[in-house]
Every structure is written in C-alpha cells, then in structure tokens.
C-alpha cells in the first residue's frame, strides 16, 4: 500500500506546493496566455501532472494510470453522457424546426429591449442552461436577441452577464453532482448550500443586468418586471436546491420565472418603450402560432422535466437502482454499501491518506457509481426518444442527429475526460492535499479566497463542472485544516465559479460566433465583461465570509466519515 507524502520537496510545504501547482500553471498558460484549445490544454496539464506525480511524489505508475482512467471514466459517465443527451435533445428541436416556434413564442411577448433581455437572456437562457448547458445558453439566447434586432455586441454581452445565476446547477445539476463525487460530501448538503449562495446573487442579477444595459433610471422604469423575474427565479432556486436536489433546480426555477414573466408581460407594460443605440431592423417577421403548435414545440423540454422528475422520485429511483445493482456484471467487485457502486481494481484502498488531511491514517476508497438507468443523462435520453415520437422523427433522422451531436461534442468529450482524469490524479497522488495545506496559510480569510479559487477555475476551464472537479477537494482539505465547514468552501467554489464563466475564452468565442461578430471582437467583449466578473466574484467572496463567521448555523453540516 502506497502512502501519501504532502511535503515531497525537501520536506518543505511551500516548495512542494509550487511543484504541485505546476499542472494548474500549465492549464493557465495554455488557456489564458497561449489561447490553445481546451482539449489540448487539458491534455497538457494532465501530462504535467503525471510527470509530477511519478517523479516528485513517487506515485507508482500503476496507481497513477488507474486513477487517471478512473477520473476519465467518471468524465464520460455521467458527465459527458448528460452533456451529450442534452445537446441531442436541443438539436432535435432545431432539426425539426420546432425551435423556430419556440423563438417566435418568446419573441412576440414584448418589443421593449429591457424586457426582451430579461425574458430571453435571463429567463429563457437559464432554462437552456438547466437542460443543456455547455455554452448552449449563450449561443441560443445570443442568436435570438441578434435575430430580434439587438446590436450583436449588446446581445453577446447581455447573454454572458445573464449566464451566471443558473450555471452552478446547469446540465441538470451536473456541477453539484460532480462536486459531491470529487469531495465525498453529501450531494444534498452541497445542493442546499450552493442554492443558498446562488439565490442571494440570482435575485440581484436581473437588476444588475438592466443597470449595465440601460442605466439606473431606465432600469427603474421596469422595476415590476425586474422584481418578478429575480424573486421568482431566486425563490424557486432556493426551494428546489434545498428540498428536492440539484437535478431540476435550473429547469424548475427557469420555468417558474418564464411563467411569471409571461404573466407580467401580458398584464403590464412600461410607460416608455426602450430601444438601444445600434439596434438593427428585425431580420424576419415573427410568426404567430396556435397554442397547440407552441405546446408541441416545447414538448421536448416538457418531456425532459417529466422524465427527470419520474426517475428522480425516491421510490422509483431506489427500486430501479436495486434492480440494476443486482444486474451489474461480476467482472468488477460490487460495493456492499454504495448502490450500483463498483470497486476500482488496483486502486480501491491501495493508497493511505495521512494526517493532517485525515484525522488518522486511512485508506483512500475508489468506487465508481454506474447508475446507468437512473442517471440524469438517461432520463434526458428517454425524453429525446419520446420527443422524437411526438415530433414524428424517423430512425434515420434521429440517427443523423445522434451522429451530428457526437461530431459537435467530440473534442468537448475529450476535454471533460481529460479534466476529470487530471482532477482524480491530483487527488489520489496527494498533490491537491499539498495545495490545500499550503492555502491554509490564508487563515481566516480563506472563505473569501475560496471564491477566488472557484472563479479562476471556471475562467481557465470554461466549466463550473471542471472547476469543481479540479478544485473541489482542495477546498475541502483547506477547510478541514482551518476548522471551517467544508460544505461551505466547496459550495463557494461552485457558486463563485460561475462568475468566471462570462470571461472564459470558450464562452466569449461562442457568444461572438452566435451573434455574427468576428474574432476581432473577442478582446473587446472580454474587456466589457471582466470588470463585472471580478465585482460579482468579490460579492460572492464577502457573502462566503458572512456564512463562515456571522451565519455559520445556516451552513449544512456533513456527517462525519
């Protein structure tokens, strides 16, 4: 059995931390400075982590390889699986032409630019984030606003700012689920805490968005709509994340917000209609559709909600999991305590973690959960098949959509697998623990610093899920070293990380492409968003300090392991 060493460089924690941070530096260099593709950056960081783990930490080759493959496997299932099925569902709506009806149904509610921004960029964008994530919200809502005549730069900037509140629960809760798996903390405790943090920001984002877009005076002219939008989304976000779980938080919050906004826009109109400088004429007249046509167009996402609700119901989920657990192949040993859990051969309990990371020396478990029938991605896939029947999509057309989705996401899937492989390698080699122990030197200010860590993670990777995989365990190790609640710091990693989404190279590139701008506009868009990103990250950092030292009783406590 191999034992961790958190001070491998001459017994110095500072020197060891600098070496352990090499993969992070490589990631920053490749993504932030050299602007290389995300998949290439992830593989480069993974390669550097392998070198450090083998040569500096003395990790056996077998353990390094298996831990990397274990992480990559988790990246493929359930993370890449839900990303794939979500995008496939979206492409189904686009390929059948139903998405044009969806666009028309939301674009004919109001001609006021402020209200269009609230409804499409915030409310509808949050729905797409919850169902698909992975850049789809900025691409879809940005294209819709540009199609409605918005100046492309305005459309891109507004959508990037709006795509903050829902990101922590995007792609049917995958960021929080990933955080739970990486840290070993209960998913419901993390969901509740992330929901409490995000709700405090979500209620403000609609107002912040319109102040940036139109100024304080003109934002106040639509205060009823701002209040309805922020309160409905944040309120439902808090309730679902705390009492149901992360899977449906975004979808139910955004649907509630959409319904409330439709009611507001039908019953109330601002005294003055606002246009923006540089508005372009609407490129095509918006068609009106019957209620039946609109219902059919929205059916893929309505079916998604029904499928996720059904599969996520405790009684149904437990019954299915019990059956699939019994059917798991006997090639790999099954966990007697984790439903659908498989011990990772050659890694499970083959590494010993030592104090101060753990109270006493303890084996490091490695259990791969293969809940293939109750995974959110499977529910989304079932919804896709059901939607194909409703929309009368034949097998050949569905196969083409499947292939097109895979082609679209091939490099993304490689990036996800590489990032999770990197995260698991850093965890099992002890590199993350070294960084956490070094960061403990920040002392009582660490709750604020934990927000900076999450923000940097999403800025570098473009993904809250990847940032949680990379830094989630670091947050827990540091919190334990400082006697802070690890649920808080891990949750802050996710909740503050979303503020880095608007300045990630990937998000900016998607926004520019979706709105018809050129790559020359990317740096200008970055300069527009960076100040807002830093400000919102700092606000989340101060909120974290309040929860740590003023409201500690409001933070869920994870049961001891």
Model confidence pLDDT, tens digit, residues 449-473: 999 889 988 887 778 988 898 788 8
Q: What is the pLDDT of residue 284?
A: 47
Q: Rounded to 5, what percent of the chain is helix, strand, coil?
A: 75, 0, 25
Whether pTM > 0.85 for this model: the answer is no
Q: What is the pLDDT of residue 225?
A: 96
Mean pLDDT across 439-452: 89
Q: What is the pLDDT of residue 285?
A: 52
Alpha-carbon separation of residue 441 from 286, 426, 434 (angstroms): 58, 20, 12
Which has more confidence, 340 or 243?
A: 243
311-335 per-position pLDDT tens digit: 877 788 889 988 888 877 766 788 8
Q: What is the pLDDT of residue 283?
A: 46
Mean pLDDT across 47-73: 97
d(CA 56, CA 510): 39
Q: What is the pLDDT of residue 558?
A: 80
Mean pLDDT across 41-70: 96
Q: b/e for 528-549, b at 16 or more Cβ within 10 A?
A: bbeebbeebbbbbbebbbebbe
**Residue 561 reports pLDDT greater than 60:** no
Helix spans in 56-151 (H): 61-74, 81-95, 98-107, 113-116, 125-131, 136-147
> Phi, psi at residue 343, to the nearest 5°?
-65, 135
Q: What is the pLDDT of residue 200?
A: 96
**Residue 418 reports pLDDT greater than 50:** yes
Candidate ranges 132-141, 291-300, 462-471, 535-544; pick with highest mean pLDDT: 535-544
Mean pLDDT across 399-426: 88
d(CA 383, CA 503): 33
For residue 528, the surrounding DSSP H or E stretch is: helix 522-549
Least confident of 73-77, 80-84, 497-501, 527-531: 80-84
**Residue 246 reports pLDDT greater than 90:** yes
- Cβ-contact 3, 358 below 8 angstroms: no
Q: What is the pLDDT of residue 135?
A: 67
d(CA 78, CA 173): 11
Give the largest Cα separation in the chain, rounded.
73
Q: Which of 370, 159, 379, 144 is nearest to 251 (CA)?
A: 379
Least confident of 74-78, 204-208, 289-293: 74-78
**Residue 282 reports pLDDT greater than 60:** no
């Amino acid at each position: 059995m191999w034992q961790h060493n958190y001070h491998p460089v001459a017994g110095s924690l500072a020197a060891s931390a600098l070496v352990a941070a090499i993969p992070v530096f490589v990631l920053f260099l490749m993504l932030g400075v050299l602007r290389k593709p995300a998949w290439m950056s992830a593989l480069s960081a993974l390669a550097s982590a392998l070198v450090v783990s083998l040569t500096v930490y003395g990790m056996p080759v077998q353990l390094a390889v298996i831990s990397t493959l274990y992480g990559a496997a988790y990246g493929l299932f359930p993370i890449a699986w839900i990303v794939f099925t979500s995008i496939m569902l979206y492409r189904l709506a686009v390929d059948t032409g139903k998405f044009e009806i969806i666009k028309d149904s939301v674009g004919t509610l109001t001609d006021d630019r402020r209200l269009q921004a609230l409804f499409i960029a915030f409310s509808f964008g949050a729905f797409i984030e919850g169902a698909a994530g992975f850049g789809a919200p900025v691409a879809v809502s940005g294209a819709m606003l540009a199609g409605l005549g918005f100046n492309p730069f305005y459309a891109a900037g507004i959508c990037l700012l709006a795509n903050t509140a829902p990101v922590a629960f995007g792609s049917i809760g995958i960021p929080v689920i990933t955080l739970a798996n990486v840290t070993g903390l209960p998913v419901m405790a993390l969901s509740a805490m992330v929901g409490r943090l995000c709700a405090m920001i979500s209620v403000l984002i609609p107002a912040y968005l319109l102040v940036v877009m139109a100024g304080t005076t003109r934002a106040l002219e639509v205060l009823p709509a701002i209040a309805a939008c922020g309160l409905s989304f944040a309120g439902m976000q808090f309730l679902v994340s705390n009492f149901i779980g992360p899977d449906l938080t975004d979808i139910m919050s955004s649907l509630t917000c959409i319904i409330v906004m439709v009611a507001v826009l039908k019953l109330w109109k601002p005294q003055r209609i606002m246009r923006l400088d540089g508005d372009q004429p609407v490129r095509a007249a918006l068609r009106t559709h019957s209620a039946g046509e609109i219902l059919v167009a929205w059916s893929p996402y309505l079916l998604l909600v029904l499928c996720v609700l059904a599969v996520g119901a405790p009684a149904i989920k437990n019954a299915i999991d019990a059956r699939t657990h019994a059917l798991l192949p006997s090639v790999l040993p099954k966990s007697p305590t984790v439903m659908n859990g498989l011990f990772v051969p050659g890694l499970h309990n083959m590494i010993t973690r030592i104090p101060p990371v753990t109270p006493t020396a303890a084996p490091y478990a490695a259990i791969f959960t293969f809940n293939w029938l109750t995974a959110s991605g499977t529910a989304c896939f079932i919804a896709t098949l059901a939607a194909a029947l409703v929309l009368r999509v034949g097998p050949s057309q569905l196969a083409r959509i499947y292939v097109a989705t895979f082609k679209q996401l091939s490099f993304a899937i490689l990036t996800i697998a590489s990032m999770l492989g990197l995260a698991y390698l850093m965890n099992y080699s002890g590199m993350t623990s070294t960084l956490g122990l070094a960061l403990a030197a920040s002392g009582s200010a660490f709750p604020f610093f934990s927000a900076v860590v999450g923000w940097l993670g999403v800025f570098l990777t473009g993904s809250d899920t990847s940032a949680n995989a990379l830094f989630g365990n670091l947050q827990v190790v540091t919190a334990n070293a400082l006697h802070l609640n690890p649920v808080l710091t891990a949750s802050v990693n996710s909740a503050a990380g979303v503020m880095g989404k608007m300045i990630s190279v990937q998000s900016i590139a998607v926004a520019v492409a979706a709105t018809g701008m050129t790559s020359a506009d990317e740096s200008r868009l970055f300069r527009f968003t960076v100040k807002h990103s830093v400000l919102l990250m700092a606000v989340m950092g101060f909120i974290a300090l309040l929860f740590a030292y003023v409201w500690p009783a409001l933070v869920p406590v994870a049961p001891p392991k």
